[in-house]
Amino acid sequence: MTALEGVKVIDVGQFYFGPYCTVLMARLGAEVIKIESPEGDPYRRLPTVDGDGASIQFRFLNAGKRTMRLDLKSQAGQDILRDLAAQSDVLVQNLSPGAMDRFGLGYDVLSALNPRLIMASGTGFGSFGPYAGEAAMDLTIQARTAVMSTTGFEDGPPTRTGPSFVDFMAATHLLAGVLAALYQRTVTGRGQHVEVALQDAVIPALTSNIAGLLAPGQDIPERTGNRHGGHAVTPYNAFPTVDGWITVLCPTDAHWQRLCALMDDPATDDVRFTDMAGRCKYCEDVDAIVARWTATRGKDELTEVLKAARIPCAPIVTLPELLVDPHVKARQIIREVTDAEGTFTTLGSPMLLSDSPIVEPARAGGHGEHTDDILRTKLGLTDDEIAGLRQNHVI
């Protein structure tokens, strides 16, 4: 059986945060119903589309879910969601702050109908604190949480990270909270409200940067480029090669000594580089020595030489290189799936369980594709009742 077989999930999320949490649950075997407004998830309308005109981002985050069009601003739509919640295990939402309460769909209301329900709320800043209730997106959280001020080079402007890591990091935290609540429910028989704030999920990733700030006697710039965020390890950087770049780091003196043996450069004999403290203090000089060595070789050759010497390293891979990387293909985290309509690309699962198969992702449904079937099979509505809801623009 799959890990979450029989678990019924309602996804009232949009963008990346909520939908990534629920797509992971779908890969683990949960039945996920995605609720969309009459306009559809905003990411359905992004201009990055594949050959059949579907949004690639939407497909990545929603493959394997059943889709339902429902107007939660209407009384009838709210009634339908309450009825679905009454027979579900988990409801995940990351709508604008206060939206679920305004719709009469807050945790107190839904848990009164179904005490076993776990409601998972993804927010920007949480339900309390000075910023509670403020709208937030990946970029604004990076700005508010010192991610941008610590990204980039000292003499450059604050910079966002390339990946939208805030949403995805928070989504995995939200999933962890849901799984913990499901486990606790097996003992108590009760559900609960799980809350994860984007800002809270990101701050732990700043551990090295904060440590460098708090350490007495340290004077470290906020932005350290490709160097260690706490200026506690040198070398720790990206270095040029004849065909790109490579990252090299020496977290111990032994690593440094092995690197010195490879480089065979008399400059490494400088007493300033004897220990880590000295190398960090004179990191510019250390990096210059390493760069002089790497600049004469290819990144793949250097990778093999450094790996053989047990020195942490990795070539800097471009996006096109990533998509054809044999390891990425072997792990199937980016999947090409063929169905009756053709072949599409979506996400696999980063979670592999030895005794629980991962569910093969199905093509993301069209807007409201499964609405009628859900209303019939889950709520027992007749064709006439469904037709009435459609006539009144509830579905």
Q: Which amino acid is at 272?
A: R
| Residue 65 exposed, middle or buried by CB count within 10 Å (0-12, 13-18, 19+) | buried
Chain centroid to Cα 174, Å, comes to 10
| CA angle, 44 then 46 then 48, to 5° | 115
- Strand, helix or coil at 35? strand
Marked catalytic residue, from 11, 89, 167, 287: 167
Pairing assessment for the beta strands 90-93 and 8-12 based on DSSP bridges? parallel
Structure tokens that stand for 199 in this block? 């800002």
Cβ atoms of 333 and 350 within 8 Å: the answer is yes
Q: Is 167 annotated in the active site?
A: yes
Sheet holding 244-249, edge to edge: 236-241, 244-249, 313-315
Partners of 173 in the beta sheet? none
Cβ atoms of 30 and 7 within 8 Å: the answer is yes
Which residue do the tokens 């709320």 mark?
121
CA distance linking residue 311 with residue 289, whole number of Å: 16
CA distance linking residue 296 with residue 290, whole number of Å: 11
The H or E element spanning position 237 is strand 236-241
Chain centroid to Cα 272, Å, comes to 41
Structure tokens that stand for 155 in this block? 């003499």
Cβ atoms of 294 and 302 within 8 Å: the answer is yes
CA distance linking residue 19 with residue 42, whole number of Å: 12
CA distance linking residue 21 with residue 123, whole number of Å: 13
List active site positions. 167
